[in-house]
Every structure is written in C-alpha cells, then in structure tokens.
Amino acid sequence: MFLPLTSISRLCLIGVLFLCAFPLMLGSGSGEATVDEPAPLVKVLVTYHSLSGNTERMAEAVVDGVKSVSGAEALLKRVGKVTADDLFSADAVVVGSPVYWSNMSGEVKTFFDNWQFKFGVFPDFKMKNKIGAAFATGGQVSSGKEITMLTILAAMLGNQMIVVSGGGAFGASATTEGDSPGIDNKELADAKALGRRVAEVAVMMQRGSSR
C-alpha cells in the first residue's frame, strides 16, 4: 500500500541520501587514490663496490631481505653503474663497501662525490627524506668496518637522508680474512636483516606520507 511521506520522513530520507553520497562527492574528481588502488612498490637501491666478491655476496643477501617484505622491490647495481634515475627514483638506498685502509673504498667515495658532480643533489637536497643504510666487509675483525659504515651513513646524513641500521648497530658487516675467511651464514643473515629493516621502514614511510 502506498503511504504518503510526511514532511519529517521526507527530511529523513534526504538526510540518509546525502550521507550516502557525501563520501563519493569527496573522492570524485579530486585526483586522490581510492582505497582499492594498490600502493606503488617502494624501491630500494642496493649498490656496492667489490673487487673479490665478498661485498657483492652481502649485497645479494641485502636484496633477499628487501624482497622478503611485501610492497618492496630491489635494484642491485655496482656504484659505478648507478644512474641519476636509479638514485632519484629510489625510496631507499643501501650502500656497501669493502674496508680500504679503515674507511670506505675510493670507488664508494667517488660514488658519493658524484651525487653532486654528476647528479647535482645540492643545493636542493634531492636525496632528502630517503631512507639510507650501510654494509661493509673487511679482512680483519677490528680494522675499520664500523668506521666504513659510519662514514657511509655520515655522507647520507649530510644529504638529509633518514638513516637506519639493521643486522648490526651501524648496519651489516662481515670479516673475510684470517681466522674468519669468506662470508658465513650469520653474516649473510645480518645482511638479509638489514635489507628487510630498510624495506619495512620505507613501506612505513610510504604509508605515513599517503595519509
């Protein structure tokens, strides 16, 4: 049976319709991502110098760690092959070096210098707020691995990046000569943990910035 609407019930009906349509009006035409759209993958650039393969093995384990995080992808490149696009499209950069005379190798230092000479990061601080992390391999137990990681992190801090650790207090490291030749499973696990932490933080940053 048809019942004529009273003024009050008409008002209620209009109110309900408005409440249903309001979220659609907010979303439409604003260009905002809808909840159904998947977030783009965060990009983690893992880059390194390696002459005899030790630092390269650690780099590969870092990549494994990155790939274990849902929502993250990794790009693995030697420092000399990194392009401006690789650098600037990355959400996070993990840099690895062998210890040379208790510090990062010349190739890795040149890579950082090229951020300015080739890629012009300053004065706009183009790396600002990207995540950064470090790893290192050294022949001896105590002969520069931590300094190497800290000088890598210092270069990142100077670029206003957000540095994180993982695997060890300053990043992941391995001893490769003397009583501890090559890279053992614990060191590879530390490198993987570093990659995982970097990717997790990068994903958290992405979620935070899209709120």
Ligand X SMILES: Cc1cc2nc3c(=O)[nH]c(=O)nc-3n(C[C@H](O)[C@H](O)[C@H](O)COP(=O)(O)O)c2cc1C
Which residues in this chain contact ligand X in the complex, by CB under 6 A?
A: 50-56, 98-102, 137-140, 143-144, 176-177
Give me the sign of the Cα torsion angle 73, 145, 131, 194. Answer: positive
- Buried/exposed code over 16-29 (b: 16+ C-beta within 10 A; e: otherwise): eeeeeeeeeeeeee
Of 159 and 173, CB closest to ligand X: 173
Give the residues across from 72 on adjacent strands. Answer: 42
Q: With both helix axes pointing from N to C terminus, report the angle between 185-209 and 54-67 in degrees, rounded to the nearest 10.
A: 40
Q: Which two tokens stand for residue 12?
A: 């209620």
Of 55 and 159, CB closest to ligand X: 55
Least distance in Å: CB of 203 to ligand X?
29
Of 159 and 176, CB closest to ligand X: 176
Least distance in Å: CB of 94 to ligand X?
15
Least distance in Å: CB of 107 to ligand X?
10
- Per 3-state DSSP, what percentage of the chain is helix, strand, and coil (rounded to 5)? 45, 20, 35
Least distance in Å: CB of 177 to ligand X?
6
Of 112 and 203, CB closest to ligand X: 112
Give dist(CA 167, CA 180) in Å, integer. Answer: 18
Least distance in Å: CB of 145 to ligand X?
7
What are phi and psi for residue 31, nearest 5 degrees? 80, 0
Alpha helix positions (H), 28-144: 54-67, 84-89, 106-117
Of 143 and 165, CB closest to ligand X: 143
Of 99 and 193, CB closest to ligand X: 99
Least distance in Å: CB of 98 to ligand X?
3
